[in-house]
Amino acid sequence: MTSENTLTDQAQQILIDNDRGGYTVPTAGLYPYQWNWDSAVAAFGFAQFDVERAWVELETLFQGQWADGMVPHILFHKNDPGYFPGPDVWACEGPIPSSGIIQPPIAATMARFVWEQDREMGQARMAVLYPKMLAWHNWIMRWRLHMGAVCTTHPWETGRDNAPDWDKTMARMDASDVGEYTRRDTAHVNSEDRPTKFDYDRYIKLVQLGRRLKWDQAAMMAESPFRVADPTMTFTTLRAARDLHAVGEALGKDVSQIAADIKRLEAGVSTLWNKDLGGFDSRDVHSGEWAGCVSNASYLCWFAGVENPAMLARLRDVLERVPYPVPSNDPDAETFDARRYWRGPTWAIVNMLIGLGLKDMGHEKEAQALAKKTADLIAEHGFAEYFDPFSGDAAGGGSFTWTAAVWLAWAGRD
Ligand code: GLC
């Protein structure tokens, strides 16, 4: 058996071990529930060796869909006191106890990949999922758009919890009345690798606000201090719209509305281009202020089918200079922190999305280089949650579902 085989076996075993019956947890202990975009990536990983299980992962995720089309960022299938904030803090009323916010909508893209592995047998599964995925897309178009760009209403929605993108907006928030609470994340992993208390107070404050407003989107739009148009949400939504368009056409549906949405989202992308920074950036919708951040999400342009020579030049530079790219924050930025979560570390999941986009857009060389570097990182440092981009050191949780899935579906192939 070659070592590549061993790694593939290990990756499969991680998905199997993290399976809780119809859904996978990101990692035991730290994240004991079903997370939305982790789950979509898990489905892509499962599709490499158990396509039936891949469909089930997506189907379970959509069982948590709210009546208005929203698909929550966490589904609390079984209560676990090891996680905070749990279902009692969110107080949501969906079909499955859940959080009240979303995550990057990559499920439609991952579902299309699963379908590609299972075109004939999967036709009926896809036909059932399609209207649900479309309803979620419509929900985002209704509640999250600003000038065509997709906004986040909580740092957790973007999946990039403590990215410097939110610093200015968070600094303006008052969380002095958040009250007492006990964090659970720092009981599982090194607190140096996790968001600070300053950030955590504001995460909880925003959950309290949503709860008080009964997760009513119109009320939250009017009252929430946190509304930031961001590259993660915008690029993944645009990509999902393209995939829904393709799947809809294949299923013989009328896709004219999605085609119009794609145009709106494309226009929105241009509102995230920060000329002075020379990169795709986040902008605070209330203040109009730029965040001034080039993150790994800035490189998701190709994933969304958006070409950009300046971003390509930046990417080439990062591939050259950083031993284990793509760092989640510009290494030259003052806010760069090689270990702290989304303020510097490299995340295999984002690398995969960037790499798939590069390949689609004909940047074969860069796509291959990134896949190879990600494969080396995992081979040398394991299936960690995220990694120090300079030393490659593993950080956060171990035996991580999406890192294993990335190995199976992308980095560890060929
Ligand atoms: C953290 C990450 C988020 C991920 C979740 C579960 O909150 O920031 O992107 O979905 O953990 O892995």
Which DSSP string do the residues of 335-348 spell out, in sequence order? T--SSSGGGS-B-H
Q: Would you say residue 125 has pLDDT above 60?
A: yes
Q: Best mutation site among 38, 84, 110, 343 for ligand 1, i.e. most ligand atoms within 8 A of its Cβ? A: 38
Would the pLDDT of 3 be above 90?
Answer: no
Domain boundaries, the chain: 4-411
pLDDT-based confidence at 2, cuts 50/70/90?
low
CB-based contacts of 273, cutoff 8 Å, min separation 6:
279, 280, 281
Give the Å distance between the CA of 400 and the centre of ligand 1.
Answer: 11
**pLDDT classification of 189: cutoffs 50, 70, 90:** confident
- What is the structure's pLDDT at 193? 83
85 pLDDT band, cuts 50/70/90, is: very high
Question: Could you tell which of 156, 347, 399 is best to mutate to test the pocket of ligand 1, judged by most ligand atoms within 8 Å of the CB?
Answer: 156
Q: How far is CA 133 from CA 83, 115, 151, 220, in A?
A: 28, 14, 19, 23
Could you tell me the distance, in angstroms and rounded to a whole number, from the CA of residue 248 to the centre of ligand 1? 30
38 lines ligand 1 (CB under 6 A): yes
**Pairing outcome for strands 273-274 and 394-395:** unpaired
Cβ of residue 410 lying under 6 Å from some atom of ligand 1: no
| 26 in contact with ligand 1, CB cutoff 6 A | yes
Nearest Cα residue to atom 3 of ligand 1:
159
pLDDT of 1 higher than 50: no
The closest residue, in CA terms, to atom 2 on ligand 1 is 159
pLDDT band for position 58 (50/70/90)?
very high
Question: Could you report the per-residue pLDDT of 193-236, keeping only the tens digit for each?
Answer: 889 999 999 999 999 999 999 999 999 999 999 999 999 999 99
253 Cα to the center of ligand 1, angstroms? 34
Q: How many Cα atoms within 13 Å fall on the side-chain side of residue 39?
A: 34
Residues serving a catalytic function are: 161, 385
Q: What percent of the chain has pLDDT over 70?
A: 99
> Which atom, in ligand 1's list, is nearest to the CA of 159?
9
Q: How far is the CA of 159 from the centre of ligand 1 (A)?
A: 5
412 lines ligand 1 (CB under 6 A): no
Contacts of residue 213, Cβ cutoff 8 Å, sequence gap at least 6: 219, 220, 223
Q: What CATH number belongs to 4-411?
A: 1.50.10.10
Quick: pLDDT tens for 139-177: 999 999 999 999 999 999 999 999 999 999 999 999 999
Residue whose C-alpha is closest to residue 153's, from 143, 163, 164: 143
Chain-centre distance for alpha carbon 11:
20
Site to probe by mutation for ligand 1, drawn from 71, 161, 328, 383 as the one with most ligand atoms within 8 Å of Cβ, is 161
230 lines ligand 1 (CB under 6 A): no
| Whether the predicted pLDDT of 49 surpasses 90 | yes
pTM of the complete model: 0.98
Report which protein residue has its CA nearest ligand 1's atom 1.
159
Neighbours of 163 (CB within 10 A): 26
